[in-house]
């Protein structure tokens, strides 16, 4: 089965990001395809490389980056939601006159068209969070 994943919550606010990560990992291990993971609303906070949780806690951003690298996942952060929360890649930072970017490895910024395409291309889109 081909899944699309929608993550609407930040990494340390609710269980949604952890649940999305665990679902995605389990689906991949069972041989399913993950077409795309789309981070929207506060879910875009999963895509910042500046998150520094305490050493004895899980690092959800690193978990997503590592899973993305291992399985060549398309980890997409919504551009509008990201900009509102100060998450920028190099080109968006330059475009807005900012002197730094903070997008995590393996993530990319794009628009809502990527979410629409996910719905069209997948057998199921599973949403995590409000």
Q: Is 78 part of the annotated catalytic residue set?
A: yes
Catalytic residue of the set 44, 73, 77, 78: 78
In whole angstroms, give the CA distance from residue 68 to residue 91. 21
* SS3 (DSSP) at 20: helix
DSSP at 85: T
CB atoms within 10 A of CB 18: 16
Q: Dump strand ranges (E) for the chain.
A: 2-7, 33-39, 75-78, 107-110, 124-128
Q: Which sequence positions are flagged as catalytic?
A: 78
């Amino acid at each position: 089965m081909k899944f699309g994943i929608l993550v609407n919550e930040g990494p340390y606010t609710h269980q949604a990001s952890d649940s999305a990560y665990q679902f995605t990992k389990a689906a991949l291990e069972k041989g399913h395809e993950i077409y795309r993971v789309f981070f929207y609303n506060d879910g875009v906070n999963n895509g910042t490389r500046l998150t520094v949780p305490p050493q004895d806690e899980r690092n959800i951003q690193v978990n997503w980056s590592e899973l993305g690298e291992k399985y060549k996942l398309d980890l997409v952060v919504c551009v509008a939601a990201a900009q509102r929360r100060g998450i920028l890649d190099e080109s968006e930072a330059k475009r807005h006159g900012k002197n730094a970017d903070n997008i995590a490895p393996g993530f990319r910024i794009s628009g809502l068209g990527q979410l629409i395409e996910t719905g069209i291309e997948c057998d199921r889109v599973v949403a995590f969070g409000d």
